[in-house]
Amino acid sequence: MSLSPYDLQSNYGDVTPIDQDDGPSPIAPIAYSTEYSTAMSYFRALVRNNEMSKRALDLTSEIIKHNPAHYTVWNYRQQILFALNENLTAELDFIKRLARDNPKNYQLWYHRQVIVEKLSDCSNEVAFVNEVLDDDAKNYHAWSYRQWINTHFNLWDDELPFIDKLLNDDVRNNSAWNYRYFVVFHDPDVAEENLIESEINYTMEKIRQTPNNISPWNYLRGILEKSSRDIQELESFCKEFTDNDINSPHAMGWLVDIYGNRAKNGDEQAKEDAIKICESLANTHDTIRKAYWEYRKDELATPSS
């Protein structure tokens, strides 16, 4: 079936189409194609009659191919699939074909989740997500869907090795770092001290590869906060990237926090060191955040009441 008015009329001759009502004088009407407008007119009529039929399903297929972001059509398609007890595995193939050209279409990902949950079978899903991430390792929808798969079906064993591969390919993959945090702390009882220590060492090595990459620095801070480890422990590590020609603004910012904490306890030397680093960041190493570092400097210089 196509979306031509002729084919629609021949397949739905018993249906009275319902045109879109934009009011008597629409200010900015959307320039839909004739084929799409005609198909939607028949679709509205089928929805009004709550028709659950093969021809209604075919019509949703055609409309979705032309407008894969049409949430209402996806929702009605789900109702038809379940009412007719259609082959849901075949539906996954339909979604996969559409995903090749629409990998960041939210409606498509949500529809796939509904179908997989109905099937109670995720055997093809990791491979599907991997295929999408191979093409775009930072696809937000694919990562969100992967989180759902692992949470819903309790699939965790292979996730850290999978993330290791992505970070070995691109250590700046912020999506992979975010997902790593999700995996490590998905179960508080699993994140024991030995795992925390392993993650700290792992992240430190990644930082040594790219000390100006903010992603592992943020991940390391999250690990410390989640485990109640003291940031003071990493003073020597931070100095690896400030006592030479690297001068990583992220390491310098950490030292501001470390020395600032000591300054709160009356350590005047730490206070002077923190202020000096703030000046260096504001004027040389992180000028894009000049106002922030000047604020931090004033905060340090102001006596606490």
21, 207, 209, 248, 281 from 244: Cα distances, Å: 68, 15, 15, 10, 15
Within 13 Å, how many C-alpha atoms sit on residue 218's CB side?
A: 13
- Distance (Å, rounded) from C-alpha 200 to C-alpha 223? 7
Helices assigned H by DSSP within the chain = 5-11, 34-48, 54-66, 71-83, 88-101, 106-119, 125-135, 140-153, 159-169, 174-184, 193-209, 214-227, 235-239, 249-264, 268-280, 290-301
Task: Write out the two tokens for 123.
Answer: 């055997």
CA distance 176 to 140: 10
Pairwise CA distance, residues 167 & 165, whole Å: 6
Q: How many CB atoms lie within 10 A of CB 96?
A: 15
Active-site amino acid positions: 104
209 with 174: CB under 8 angstroms? Answer: no
Pull the structure tokens for residue 182: 């999700």
- φ, ψ for residue 204, nearest 5 deg: -60, -40
Query: In angstroms, rounded to a whole number, what is the distance separating the alpha carbons of residues 213 and 44?
Result: 51
**Exposed, middle or buried, 27 (CB in 10 Å: 0-12/13-18/19+)?**
exposed
Rounded CA-CA distance 72/60 in Å is 10
